[in-house]
Chains A and B, each alone.
Chain A
């Protein structure tokens, strides 16, 4: 079951822009509306678009299910690791130990950018894993 050429081409051209928008939402989460959860879901939508326009096998060749599973666990472990680093530097659990910086810059507000990146990776991998499971065990596209 293949889609028509128009859908395939438009999905291919649209894919990098969706990924770019997802990265923008994640990295500017502490400056403007957005954040890790929303950006991660947008990144997951990019993979769902590829799988719906092309076949699921081609998508799984590029974005392997094993790596996505590992990324999901890695996100949670990164969050815990950053939280315990706060204790190591003498603050509370999940406390901020980086300098705050100038408000409005991308490198401001300390630990929020690493937190957002970890949450974004975790949500992206989670949404993709759910979609792969739905496709693999409950019918084909």
Chain B
């Protein structure tokens, strides 16, 4: 049963790899959001660093949750290393 499962997974991945050869990676169709950030990023947020304009201006929620992820990671490390007390 396990062998059949693995063979099916490998076949599906092979089909996906073969199908992905035809995709044009250099010419994607949906560049509207990226072009908007490049054009209006300095005007909207006032930051000359576009990366900071995206991760602190347009997507500040992402950064907030990322700090919470780090906080939980620190708490988990301390909890796991402390052992039984």
In the bound complex, residues from chain B placing their C-beta under 8 Å from that of A54 are none
Q: Is the CB of B81 within 8 A of A115?
A: no
What's the least CB distance linking A129 to chain B, in Å?
6
Q: Is the CB of B49 within 8 A of A30?
A: yes
Interface size class, chain B: 20 to 34
Question: In whole angstroms, what is the CA distance A45 to B53 when docked?
Answer: 26
In the bound complex, residues from chain A placing their C-beta under 8 Å from that of B63 are 115, 119
Cβ of B71 within 8 Å of any chain A Cβ, yes or no, is yes
In the bound complex, residues from chain A placing their C-beta under 8 Å from that of B48 are 30-32, 103-104
Q: Is the CB of A94 within 8 A of B64?
A: yes
Question: In whole angstroms, what is the CA distance A109 to B70 when docked?
Answer: 25
Could you say which of B52, B68, B83 contacts A30, with CB atoms under 8 Å apart?
B52
Cβ of B2 within 8 Å of any chain A Cβ, yes or no, is no
Q: Is the CB of B78 within 8 A of A115?
A: no
| A137 nearest in chain B by CB position | B81
Question: In whole angstroms, what is the CA distance A76 to B69 when docked?
Answer: 11
A108-B67 in contact given A129-B74, A133-B81 (Cβ < 8 Å): no
In the bound complex, residues from chain A placing their C-beta under 8 Å from that of B70 are 122-123, 126
A76-B67 in contact given A94-B61, A112-B56 (Cβ < 8 Å): yes
Q: Is the CB of A30 within 8 A of B64?
A: no
Q: Is the CB of A103 within 8 A of B71?
A: no
Stretch in B4-12, B13-21, B28-36, B39-47 touching the partner: B39-47
What's the least CB distance linking B24 to chain A, in Å?
30
Q: Is the CB of B81 within 8 A of A138?
A: yes
Could you say which of A108, A112, A126 contacts B71, with CB atoms under 8 Å apart?
A126
In the bound complex, residues from chain B placing their C-beta under 8 Å from that of A75 are 67
Q: Is the CB of B67 within 8 A of A134?
A: no
In the bound complex, residues from chain B placing their C-beta under 8 Å from that of A126 are 70-71, 73-74
Cβ of A110 within 8 Å of any chain B Cβ, yes or no, is yes
| B60 nearest in chain A by CB position | A94
